Amino acid sequence: MTLHVTHYAPKPPAWPQDMSLRIVALADLHACTPWTNPGHVAEFCRRANDLMPDIILLLGDYASGPRLSLELDPSRWAAALGALSAPLGVHAILGNHDYDGYSRADIARGPTRAETALAAVGIPVHINRAVRIAHGGRYFWLAGLGDQFAFSPKHSRRYDRLDGVDDLKGALAQVSTDEPVVLMAHEPDIFPEVPGHVALTLSGHTHGGQVRLFGKTPVVPSRYGSRYAYGHIVEEDRHLIVSSGLGFSGWPVRLGTKSEIVVVDLGKEGAT
């Protein structure tokens, strides 16, 4: 697997340009054998640590590999992720595939295996939760959205029928100051609803379409089609960055897209 590092230096109006922050984001591991095995995950983590992040964000879909693969026990991929390290910590959300095999009744009784495995290696999982983080004598908020497609049919292309556990209003209600906010949301579909005081939204899920032909992405798992398929999107001064992720979904093939780690430099030191 060829791994790319993609750099962004956005200037969102809601982020103070004299407050520098380096975010490293990893999305859509889909850990499995042979395609994204523990050795691959360990290499992703080594590369991520080498990028000298202030904070590392994990954007969901840790398991549920593609066709022609064997799923790993969550303890194996979580152990590899446990090697990640950053001064402001490693923070996670869950993706739709982290709810595979679960019902609402199941999660009412306790966390998913993915959440349990991450917590066991010291990585907090933020489900509709916002936390205030100190950085360089100042503060910002990190909000994690519950998954929007958690119980939607996994093999349907009717992405307008969402059945999730997301509560954007509830998560942002926990932000009690006017300090800047970074939002983690596995699927980018929430972006039209994100208010302007959120400086940056980070998402995965789409795999960049996974297959891109002649500049077009034939299949994007989003009700907005290719609108939020990949990259840095700005709408009405609101900023979204969508990663193409690391692993595979469906068939273990990428064409015209890349497996990537995303680096986001916010503030004057990273601005270009």
What pLDDT was estimated at residue 162?
75
Instruction: Quote the pLDDT of residue 246.
Output: 96
DSSP string, 118-134: HHHTT--B-SSEEEEEE
Q: Is the pTM of this model over 0.85?
A: yes
Nearest of 1, 7, 105 to residue 51 by alpha carbon: 7
pLDDT in tens, 210-262: 788 767 777 888 999 899 999 999 999 999 999 999 999 888 888 888 999 99
Which residues, in sequence order, are bridge partners of residue 261?
5
**Cα–Cα distance for residue pair 263/174, rounded to 1 Å:** 27
Q: How confident is the model at residue 272 (pLDDT cuts 50, 70, 90)?
A: very low
pLDDT of res. 41: 95
pLDDT(268) > 80: no
Q: What is the pLDDT of residues 48-70, one digit of tens each?
A: 999 999 999 999 999 887 888 89
pLDDT in tens, 110-166: 999 999 999 999 999 999 999 999 999 999 999 999 999 999 876 555 566 678 999
Q: Give the CATH architecture of domain 3-266.
A: 4-Layer Sandwich (3.60)
Q: How far is CA 85 from the centre of its chain?
A: 17
Rounded distance, CA 254 to CA 209, Å? 9
**Residue 85 region by backbone torsions, left for phi larger than 0, else alpha for psi between -120 and 50, else beta:** beta
Amino acid in position 68? L
Locate the domains of the chain by residue range. Answer: 3-266
In this structure, is the dihedral angle defined by the CA atoms of residues 146, 110, 108 and 106, taken in order, positive or negative? Answer: positive
| The amino acid at 71 | E
Query: What was the pLDDT predicted at 159?
Result: 66
Max Cα separation, the chain?
Answer: 49
Q: How far apart are CA 270 and CA 272, in angstroms?
A: 7
pLDDT tens digits for range 79-97: 999 999 999 999 999 999 9
